[in-house]
Amino acid sequence: MSIFTVGRLCLKLAGRDAGRKCIVVEELDSNYVLIDGNVRRRKTNVNHLEPLAEVLDIKKNLSHEAVKELFQSHNWPVWDHNSKQPAEKPKKHKKVKGQSGKSGKKDQSAKKEKSAAPKAKKEKSKKAEDSEETA
């Protein structure tokens, strides 16, 4: 009979959760168990667990919320994943035909300036011609 029965308190030896307390929630196989507690709820090889003396009286396949309450009642730290809420995507504003944006205004003003420049030149040249004639 395996020492890793349901409710057995263990210490995780391998991986990112090494050194943290966990509890066996379900026996999956002779080699694998489902653990929960101060670790991510996951299937684990029993070689990666160090059994502790305590065995808690729990039902098989206990939910994470129930395990969380159990650990909190014993003042043990519990792993809880606080998932970040994704930020709202910036809304894309479609350009409507006929409406000119900022860039459109700039273009128009630039065009006006360009069109005004040759007119001014023409006027200057005309004035010069007139002055020559009068002289």
Partner 1 sequence: MPEGKFRSRTFRRIHVRTPGGKSVLHYRRRKPSKPTCAGCGRVLAGVPQELPHDLKKIAKSSRRPERPYGGVLCTVCSRQLWKDKTRIEPTEVKA
Where do contacts with partner 1 occur on this chain (CB under 8 A)?
A: 11, 13-19, 50, 52
Distance CA 70, CA 68 (A): 5
How far apart are CB 52 and partner 1 at their closest, in Å? Answer: 6
Looking at residue 47, what DSSP letter applies? G
Smallest gap from Cβ 108 to partner 1, in A, equals: 48
CB 16 to partner 1: min, Å = 4
Count the alpha carbons within 13 Å of 129 in the hemisphere toward its beta carbon: 6
If the CB atoms of residues 7 and 51 are measured against partner 1, the closer one turns out to be: 51
6 versus 10: smaller Cβ distance to partner 1? 10
- DSSP string covering 81-98: --PPPPPPPPPPPPPPTT
